[in-house]
Structure 1
């Protein structure tokens, strides 16, 4: 394993900051600039999407189609990056705070999650891009009905 250049570390950290902020601000074009043309996605640990490879544009469209009224705040910490033969590998912890701005139901008006992400990064046209995202959900709490990603089409809940 080779040491990662400090400037590459800063650039990859910047990609992750922009990626997570794009969720919070619903900046779909900004999110697209963070992703490679093809991206491996695995959200299966939270009971959501099974592992698959899709275009970056399809990933963004799926996030865009997940219409909700949640105010979100994504944060990450403990970023570790390593330079490997397949590219740069990253791991970080995450905390996602979600609050329903228009909540009128019963129960809590939030649904929060924490865990870890594993990423892969590669360069495209001289810029670092996310090529793989694996979520390792640790725990979620609050009103799971607020989060569209935890509901199946028939109204049954997936695990969280």
Structure 2
């Protein structure tokens, strides 16, 4: 069990770091082949099911012109066999080339599954507590 918890903590860190490093292949590798996403709090879009490649491509398009820094903590992980759930409190700092910023304080709720000995994210729900700054700098916000 502790090996699984350690693997999941590393998975969640790789997920967050891949955004900041703009490593879209690493991001995609954190995800199951098909994932449920719900970013309705931030983006105003409906929840949807998509491929891991599509998810990574949408993030690349939305964030390519921004510097980001995802800081996470207060991680809670619950496991039942080869499935799990994790809650991760996160602050996402974003800045464009002109110095405009958008910072979002949120809670990620992840669904997890273990396949062939590897933990992957199969569901991502982002609950926004609040955002500060210019929402217009983020191409992924359609509200």
TM-score (normalised: structure 2) = 0.93
- When the two chains are superposed, the root-mean-square deviation of aligned CA atoms in Å is 1.6
Conserved? CA contact 2:82–2:114, under 8 Å = no
> Counterpart in 1 of 2:112?
121
Structure number having the greater strand percentage: 2
**Deviations 1:18-40 (CA, angstroms, capped at 9, x unpaired):** 11111111101111110001111
Report the CA distance between 1:68 and its aligned residue: 3.9
Q: Distance in 2 between matches of 1:119 and 1:126?
A: 18
Report the CA distance between 1:85 and its aligned residue: 6.6
Give the greater-gyration-radius structure (CA). Answer: 1
Q: Distance in 1 between matches of 2:64 and 2:133?
A: 16
Conserved? CA contact 1:95–1:115, under 8 Å = yes
> Number of residues paired by the alignment?
143
Unaligned runs of 5+ in 2: none
Conserved? CA contact 2:34–2:49, under 8 Å = yes
Q: Does 1:110 align with 2:129?
A: no
Matches within 5 A, 1:1-160: 5-84=1-80, 87-100=83-96, 102-103=97-98, 109-150=100-141, 152=142, 158=143
Q: Distance in 2 between matches of 1:143 and 1:79?
A: 28
Unaligned runs of 5+ in 1: 153-157
